[in-house]
């Protein structure tokens, strides 16, 4: 089968190579037992793959390996215990191996793809939306009627967070850096959009009538202190990632003033070790898809062999919505 491999750790321009490799074993490499074998139609491109081209991600398989954490496709074989069967359209999180014509995902991470979504949307459904649900509902305890401010709101996690927040009945304020990203954030359902290079903290306080309840932060960097300042009493900042490049440091006296919480939301490892919770999140998101809240926004698309360009787009901060590789 055709697959993209990471062959060295020289970065997205040169680390990827198209190869003809053997079909994967139905045993999933990261979980015990037989997985679901999937004919891949679309593969999602995400920040972890970019980090993997430099050996900077926590998962460091021996070289060469096939990256690609999530796919949309059709089931070719499945264990009897799986909730899907041969021929089903699915969205699946495989962790690794998605940039290929065939991939294997754990059964608890393979979900029927509702008719409302195409394969490319399926390839953007798990990493970002499961992370968004886990971060907002389970870690940040976002409730109906509360207001959430989402940084990096036109990105993969950001657009997912806007939609999941609305599915939870919350009000949304998106922070973005350009007109094009403002358009994407609105398409994702943001009620208000503010600019990262403007007085976003003051605008957020004004829009929310005194301060937001929750900040979801996949960006980090020097805006973190202003995120804390934008909260109302009992507010929560959810730490999701650091696309801004630097890891913020916090003077903890800021947490006393308004009874503030900073919570981490690390979905990946947690999800791999909590299969029942993954099924539960899948069911909650299924409900949000049926209700029309969740519609992954597909941005730029590339054929499989141009995966390098897709990763460079993420690096240049030019990705909007979910970047997808069309595999067949």
Ligand X SMILES: NC(=O)c1ccc[n+]([C@@H]2O[C@H](COP(=O)([O-])OP(=O)(O)OC[C@H]3O[C@@H](n4cnc5c(N)ncnc54)[C@H](OP(=O)(O)O)[C@@H]3O)[C@@H](O)[C@H]2O)c1
- Which residue ranges make up the site for ligand X (CB under 6 A)? 46-48, 127, 131, 152, 154-158, 176-177, 181, 196, 218-219, 240-245, 265-268, 314, 317, 319
Q: How far is the CB of 59 from ligand X (least distance, A)?
A: 12
**DSSP H/E element including 187:** helix 179-187
Q: Compute the residue count for the chain.
A: 328
CB-nearer residue toward ligand X: 51 or 75: 51
Residue closest to 218 by CA, chosen among 260, 177, 186, 265: 265
Q: How far is the CB of 297 from ligand X (least distance, A)?
A: 10
Q: How far is the CB of 191 from ligand X (least distance, A)?
A: 17
Residue facing ligand X at closest CB distance:
155
CB-nearer residue toward ligand X: 26 or 55: 55
What CA–CA distance (Å, rounded) separates 47 from 54? 12
Instruction: For Cα atoms 269, 53, 156, give the angle at the middle one, nearest 5 degrees.
Output: 60
CB-nearer residue toward ligand X: 130 or 205: 130
Look up residue 268 and give its DSSP letter. Answer: H
What CA–CA distance (Å, rounded) separates 188 from 48? 22
CB-nearer residue toward ligand X: 104 or 314: 314
CB-nearer residue toward ligand X: 84 or 133: 133
Phi then psi for residue 307, to 5 deg, are -55, -35
Q: How far is the CB of 53 from ligand X (least distance, A)?
A: 13
Q: How far is the CB of 189 from ligand X (least distance, A)?
A: 16
Q: How far is the CB of 181 from ligand X (least distance, A)?
A: 5
Question: Measuring CA to CA, how many Å separate 127 from each of 23, 258, 278?
Answer: 24, 32, 11
Residue 312, Cβ density class (10 Å: 0-12 exposed, 13-18 middle, ≥19 buried)? middle
CB-nearer residue toward ligand X: 238 or 304: 238
């Amino acid at each position: 089968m055709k697959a993209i491999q990471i062959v060295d750790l020289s970065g997205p321009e040169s680390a990827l190579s198209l190869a003809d490799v053997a079909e994967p074993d139905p045993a999933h490499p990261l979980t015990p037992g037989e997985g679901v074998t999937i004919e891949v139609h679309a593969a999602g491109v995400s920040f972890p793959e970019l980090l993997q081209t430099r050996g900077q991600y926590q998962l460091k398989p021996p070289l060469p390996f096939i990256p690609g954490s999530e796919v949309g496709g059709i089931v070719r074989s499945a264990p009897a215990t799986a909730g899907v069967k041969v021929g089903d359209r699915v969205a699946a999180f495989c962790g690794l191996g998605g940039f290929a014509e065939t991939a294997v995902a754990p059964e608890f991470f393979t979900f029927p793809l509702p008719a409302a979504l195409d394969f490319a949307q399926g390839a953007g459904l798990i990493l970002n939306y499961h992370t968004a649900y886990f971060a907002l509902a389970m870690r940040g305890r976002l409730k109906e009627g509360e207001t959430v401010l989402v940084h990096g709101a036109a990105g993969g996690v950001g657009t997912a967070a806007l939609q999941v927040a609305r599915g939870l009945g919350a009000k949304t304020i998106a922070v973005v850096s350009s007109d094009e990203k403002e358009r994407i954030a609105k398409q994702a359902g943001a009620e208000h959009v503010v600019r990262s290079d403007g007085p976003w903290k003051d605008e957020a306080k004004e829009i929310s009538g005194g301060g937001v309840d929750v900040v979801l932060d996949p960006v980090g960097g020097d805006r973190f202190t202003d995120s804390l300042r934008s909260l109302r009493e009992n507010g929560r900042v959810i730490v999701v990632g650091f696309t801004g490049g630097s890891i913020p440091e916090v003077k903890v006296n800021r947490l006393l003033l308004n009874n503030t919480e900073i919570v981490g939301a690390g979905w990946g490892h947690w999800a791999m070790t909590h299969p029942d919770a993954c099924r539960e999140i899948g069911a909650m998101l299924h409900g949000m898809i049926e209700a029309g809240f969740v519609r992954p926004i597909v941005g730029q698309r590339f054929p499989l062999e141009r995966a390098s360009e897709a990763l460079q787009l993420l690096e240049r901060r030019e990705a909007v919505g979910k970047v997808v590789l069309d595999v067949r």
